[in-house]
Amino acid sequence: MSSKRIAITALIIVVLLVSGFAGTIYYYNGLFADKNSKIASLNSQIANQQTQIANQQTQIANLTSQEKQISNYTDAHLEATLGVTEVSKYANRMYTYPFYRLYISGTVNNTGQGEALNAGLHVIAYASDGIIEINMTVPLVSGADFGTDNSTNAFVQEWDAENGISANPSQLGNLNSGKSVPVEFNIFHEGIVTNWTVTPVWWIP
């Protein structure tokens, strides 16, 4: 009987040891599976972040390229040498104009390194009481007439037609680096102006 008890006891011990090992293996297998899942998730996050970094680097490269292109335009610099005169409608003894006109002539130079896009002259003129009579931007042209309202625009169209002058340009043009352009034009307006500012301008499209 003692031999049987010893055998049974040994068997029980073996079973318990095998069960313990099996439980331990099962536990660690689950632990390893969980860790592997977390590692796979982290690898996926790393891959996504690497993709985002690559996209951001592409965006930075595009912005850098755009900044270089913009700098070519912002490096433009316009300087104007102009004469500006307010001309009475009675100045011509042979002909009386129905409106006063601001006569502007001279040259505009692009002394910058970049091309000046949509270049023109911004003209603001005031009456003696401070009322703005002219506030407009005109292209860099010669031999042109412009109006400031419906009445003056109608007069300019009629005057040009009678004198064989083609339609006055309204489209702003470009001025290359190192280039200059002559300007000469009239801006017809209703009242008398006593002071004004004429500023060369350009815009980035």
**Mean pLDDT for the stretch of residues 10-33:** 60
Model confidence over 138-150: pLDDT tens digits?
999 998 899 999 9
Number of alpha helices (DSSP H) and beta strands (DSSP E) in the chain: 2, 8
Beta strands in 10-159 (DSSP E): 78-87, 100-110, 116-126, 132-139, 142-147
Distance between CA 139 and CA 122 in Å, rounded?
Answer: 9
Question: Binning pLDDT at 50, 70 and 90, where does residue 4 land?
Answer: low
Cα–Cα distance for residue pair 8/162, rounded to 1 Å:
130
For residue 134, pLDDT beyond 90: yes
- Give bridge partners of residue 183 from the DSSP assignment: 106
pLDDT digits (tens, 9 = 90+) for 35-83: 667 777 777 777 777 777 777 777 776 665 555 555 455 689 999 999 9
Nearest to 158 by CA among 194, 130, 150: 150
* pTM listed for this prediction: 0.63
d(CA 38, CA 42) in angstroms, rounded, equals: 6
CATH of region 78-201: 2.60.40
| Percent over 70 (pLDDT), the chain | 71
Three-class secondary structure of residue 203 per DSSP:
coil
Which residue ranges make up each domain of the chain?
1-74, 78-201
What does the mean pLDDT of the chain come to?
A: 81
CB 187 within 8 A of CB 134: yes
Other beta carbons less than 10 A from residue 55's beta carbon: 10
